[in-house]
Amino acid sequence: MATAQDIGSAASEIRQGGLVAFPTETVYGLGANALDANAVAQIFEMKGRPRFDPLIVHIADVGQLDALVKDVPPLAKPLIEQFWPGPLSLVLEKQDCVPEIVTAGLSSVAIRFPAHEMAQALIRAAGAPLAAPSANRFGRVSPTRADHVSQQFGDQLTVLDGGPCRVGLESTVVSFVEIDPGQPVVLRPGGITMEQIEAVIGPLKSRTKEDSRPSSPGQLSSHYSPATPLVLAEEGFSPAGENRVGLLSYQRPLQSERFSVVEVLSEQGCPREAAVKLFAALHRLDALNLDQIVAWPVPEAGLGRAIMDRLRRAAAK
Ligand code: TXA
Ligand code: MG
């Protein structure tokens, strides 16, 4: 676990324009001072992330919001009250101080107030909001433990160890600029469920096919991919011949002996537990040099929607 001293020196790296990986309750982030365009440019370089994919800006106090966004629409306020700090990012019209590189040239910016105390302590000590994507190479599986980050980036990068992430899936991204101004739309399912959001502000509009341009490129169909080919199983699936196949199962499977290795996400069928374990299980399976990973579908309600979103993208070519 990182100490207060580690957080202090990480904050000073940030103030000097450097990058630091830090824990949040969702996944580990790769952070830089969001107001320093040169520092943010290094995030894109290190991740191999295309410049058209905008970053989320992390704050540690709701009071930081006014300097970053033009306006907080009425329906955004109850969401902030209910779910911040927590796994919810809000896309709002940006102020001029937010560099274009952060938003990939968009006039909006995604803002999130993470619940992890170490993330909050780092943001406060750095004295600036932090732009941070998930701390993985572009398109790969997101990190939910400090060692997932060091495995991908080596020991060149400072990684604050805050233990395993307690949510395990990225934040839900809700945009207020996508359809009608002020009307919320979910761009990415995540740690806060649709059901939770609708319980606070009523039914959400969903985007139609026509307006589903990838303004949120986390929505690109291939993402979260292990190096090992991954397929989503259908009923009756059976691994072929000599292949070494790993199974990513939701609950305990009936015929596990046909697979070289089985990862069970939740014996009891609890979506919250499955979400927490999902990326770590994918990292473990990916390290085994299997011929294939087969993922068993999870019921699509609540957090199951976000889990299936990640599995479909992991399976996409
Ligand atoms: O939980 C999380 O959100 C984690 C932790 C580190 O906070 N971060 C994360 O960042 O998942 P990243 O970069 O992997 O995903 C950011 C998502 C992408 O889908 C991106 O397209 C979307 O947020 N996004 C960011 N700014 C946007 C904007 N202005 N308009 C629309 N989508 C935006
Ligand atoms: Mg990511």
CA 104 to chain centre: 18
Strand locations in 212-315 (E): 230-232, 245-249, 261-264, 292-295
- pTM exceeding the 0.85 threshold for the entire prediction: yes
Cβ of 144 less than 6 Å from ligand 1: no
Are 187 and 73 part of one and the same domain? yes
Can you give the pLDDT at residue 56?
A: 98
Tokens read off for 316: 């996409």
User: Helices marked H in the chain — which ranges?
Assistant: 4-15, 37-47, 65-68, 76-83, 100-103, 117-126, 146-153, 194-201, 271-286, 303-315
Can you give the pLDDT at residue 222?
A: 75
Q: In total, how many domains does the chain have?
A: 2
Cβ of 298 less than 6 Å from ligand 1: no
Strand-strand pairing, 20-22 and 29-33: antiparallel
Are 36 and 139 part of one and the same domain? yes
Are 70 and 141 part of one and the same domain? yes
**Domain enclosing residue 51, as ranges:** 4-206
Can you give the pLDDT at residue 217?
A: 52
Are 39 and 176 part of one and the same domain? yes
Consecutive 10-residue runs of the chain (317 residues): their mean pLDDT?
Answer: 98 98 98 98 96 97 98 97 98 98 97 98 98 96 97 93 98 91 92 97 73 54 87 78 90 84 96 98 96 94 96 92
Cβ of 166 less than 6 Å from ligand 1: no
CA 86 to chain centre: 12
**Nearest atom, ligand 1, residue 112 CA:** 7
Question: Quick check: is 220 in a domain?
Answer: no
Domain limit, last residue, from 171, 206, 241: 206
Tokens read off for 26: 């969702």
Can you give the pLDDT at residue 9?
A: 98
Nearest CA residue ID for atom 21, ligand 1: 216
Helix (H, G, I), strand (E, B) or coil at 123: helix
Distance 284 CA to ligand 2 centre (A): 18
Are 173 and 258 part of one and the same domain? no
Cβ of 21 less than 6 Å from ligand 1: no
The CATH number covering residue 262 comes to 3.40.50.11030
Cβ of 216 less than 6 Å from ligand 1: yes
Cβ of 173 less than 6 Å from ligand 1: yes
Question: Quick check: is 213 in a domain?
Answer: no
Strand-strand pairing, 185-188 and 245-249: unpaired
Of 59, 170, 179, 220, the one to substitute when testing ligand 1's pocket (max ligand atoms within 8 A of C-beta) is 170
User: Helices marked H in 127-255 — which ranges?
Assistant: 146-153, 194-201
Question: Quick check: is 225 in a domain?
Answer: no
Compute CA distances 140 → 35, 136, 273, whole Å.
26, 6, 22
Compute CA distances 206 → 209, 211, 216, 240, whole Å.
10, 10, 14, 39
Of 101, 216, 309, the one to substitute when testing ligand 1's pocket (max ligand atoms within 8 A of C-beta) is 216
Are 261 and 173 part of one and the same domain? no
CA atoms of 250 and 10, how far apart (whole Å): 37
User: Hey, how many other C-beta atoms are within 10 angstroms of the C-beta on 283?
Assistant: 21
Are 106 and 146 part of one and the same domain? yes
Cβ of 24 less than 6 Å from ligand 1: yes
Name 279's Cβ contacts closer than 8 Å, sequence gap at least 6. Answer: 27, 141, 142, 143, 144, 148, 168, 169, 224, 310
Can you give the pLDDT at residue 68?
A: 98
Cα angle, residue 196 at apex, residues 190 and 198 outer, rounded to 5°? 110
Question: Quick check: is 68 in a domain?
Answer: yes
Question: Quick check: is 286 in a domain?
Answer: yes
The CATH number covering residue 42 comes to 3.90.870.10
Are 66 and 169 part of one and the same domain? yes
Distance 294 CA to ligand 1 centre (A): 27
Can you give the pLDDT at residue 144?
A: 98
Are 91 and 190 part of one and the same domain? yes
Compute CA distances 134 → 62, 93, 255, whole Å.
22, 22, 35
Q: Which long-range contacts (CB under 8 A, 24 or more apart) does 95-100 make?
A: 95/67, 95/68, 95/69, 95/70, 97/35, 97/67, 97/68, 98/34, 98/35, 98/57, 98/68, 99/34, 99/35, 99/36, 99/37, 99/40, 100/37
Query: Do 143 and 278 form a contact (C-beta atoms < 8 A)?
Result: no
Distance 1 CA to ligand 2 centre (A): 23
Cβ of 106 less than 6 Å from ligand 1: yes
Domain limit, last residue, from 206, 238, 258: 206
Distance 238 CA to ligand 1 centre (A): 36
Query: Do 308 and 192 form a contact (C-beta atoms < 8 A)?
Result: no
Cβ of 108 less than 6 Å from ligand 1: yes
Cβ of 139 less than 6 Å from ligand 1: no
Q: Classify residue 94 by its DSSP letter.
A: B
Can you give the pLDDT at residue 256?
A: 79
